[in-house]
Amino acid sequence: MKNKNRSIAIIEEPMLRESVKLNKALVFEMQKAFTLYSSGRADVPPIMQILSRTNGGQTCVKSAISTELPGYAIKISSNFPGNPAMGVPVGNGLMTLFDTVTGEVDSIFLDNGYLTQLRTAAAGGLVADLLARKNAVNVCILGAGRQAQLQAEVLMLVRDIEHISIWGRDVDKATRLAETLQSELNIECQAVSDLPAAVSRADIVVTTTTSDRPILMKDWLRPGQHITAMGSDSPSKNEVDPGVAFLVDKYFCDSISQCELLGELHHAKTYESECGAIQPEELGNVILNKCPGRTTEEEITFMDLTGIGTQDALIALCAKEKLKRL
């Protein structure tokens, strides 16, 4: 018997943008990513980091495998901060999908990060649906990049949002994004410079920056809010005042062990000896009814998102399905 190698689908970014979109189905698909992880039904190896000695460039490899999914993804993403000066995007990379049964390469997505943006956005939507008050109408987003836009879009899918404030270090960029969202979503969207006031007013606060020092302060928070911090995915990144972890009523992680290494929890934990123990729970366990999510209108809930490999497997499998139907 002559063994034959299977043919590999290679899909480029424009095709992916056309066929895989942010919608409610994708949001709820992410439930599986969190429950597979938190119930121990997926194996997630430590992230591989390839660091350049000279230019701050870093490349990460992430994966996860579960016998309950027909495929596992291996995602390579690079981030080279010096690129824009050379006319090259900061982020590059690709996602590969392998067959769980045979280990064969099934698909290669030359997505330039598009699938990661989508699965991160979808996770943010799921989190808000699970943890924000049902009557949440006012949103404040920190950051004015692509993920800020996607967060605005996804929150519209899960709550009847009426007002979105955008805060960015680059005021022009924040203004442009607010204008774009206003015309796209048909609700009131504005760029804000008074961040403390915008945060205090919001029912849902989302941080989407790459900041390495806190930009969201604990004194700005008020009862009933939900906060999702999604910018930090490395030990040096830190968007949220560590005091927030000790103020909020419930602290959730996608992966506790990963948030301790790469998330806001990483920074907050260094204050535990003076401020008391943080008791994080995983979102997967909320979905599995193993622990409560929000239980009152007054609680402040906090979600620390660092991104897990099961999300990549699921978005890659979704993309494969969509493309099959074309």
Q: Would you tell me which residues interact with a second copy (CB under 8 A)? A: 1, 3-6, 8, 10, 13, 43, 45-46, 48-55, 57-59, 61, 63, 65, 67, 72, 74, 76, 78-80, 83-84, 86-89, 92-94, 96, 98, 100-105, 108, 110, 112
Q: Between residues 25 and 48, which has the closer beta carbon with respect to a second copy?
A: 48
Q: Between residues 83 and 180, which has the closer beta carbon with respect to a second copy?
A: 83
Q: Between residues 52 and 135, which has the closer beta carbon with respect to a second copy?
A: 52
Chain centroid to Cα 103, Å, comes to: 27
In 186-322, where do the E strands start and end? Answer: 188-191, 204-207, 226-229, 250-253, 281-282, 301-304
Least distance (Å) from a second copy to the CB of residue 77?
9
Between CA 58 and CA 43 the distance in angstroms is: 24
Least distance (Å) from a second copy to the CB of residue 69?
11
Least distance (Å) from a second copy to the CB of residue 121?
21
Q: Which residues contact 219 (CB under 8 A, 6 or more apart)?
A: 196
Q: Both tokens of residue 208? A: 């989407």
Q: Between residues 92 and 180, which has the closer beta carbon with respect to a second copy?
A: 92
Q: Between residues 12 and 162, which has the closer beta carbon with respect to a second copy?
A: 12
Q: Between residues 87 and 273, which has the closer beta carbon with respect to a second copy?
A: 87
Residue 318 near residue 243 (C-beta atoms within 8 A) = no
Between CA 281 and CA 290 the distance in angstroms is: 10
Least distance (Å) from a second copy to the CB of residue 173?
15
Between CA 254 and CA 280 the distance in angstroms is: 10
Least distance (Å) from a second copy to the CB of residue 292?
30
Between CA 198 and CA 292 the distance in angstroms is: 28
Least distance (Å) from a second copy to the CB of residue 295?
35
Between CA 127 and CA 158 the distance in angstroms is: 10
Q: Between residues 2 and 324, which has the closer beta carbon with respect to a second copy?
A: 2
Chain centroid to Cα 176, Å, comes to: 22
Q: Between residues 61 and 195, which has the closer beta carbon with respect to a second copy?
A: 61
Burial class (CB in 10 A: 0-12, 13-18, 19+), 262: buried
CB atoms within 10 A of CB 47: 18
Least distance (Å) from a second copy to the CB of residue 107?
11
Least distance (Å) from a second copy to the CB of residue 42?
10
Report DSSP letters for 44-58, one per residue. -PPPEEEE-SSS--E
Residue 326 near residue 12 (C-beta atoms within 8 A) = no
Q: Between residues 108 and 217, which has the closer beta carbon with respect to a second copy?
A: 108
Between CA 260 and CA 13 the distance in angstroms is: 33
Least distance (Å) from a second copy to the CB of residue 215?
25
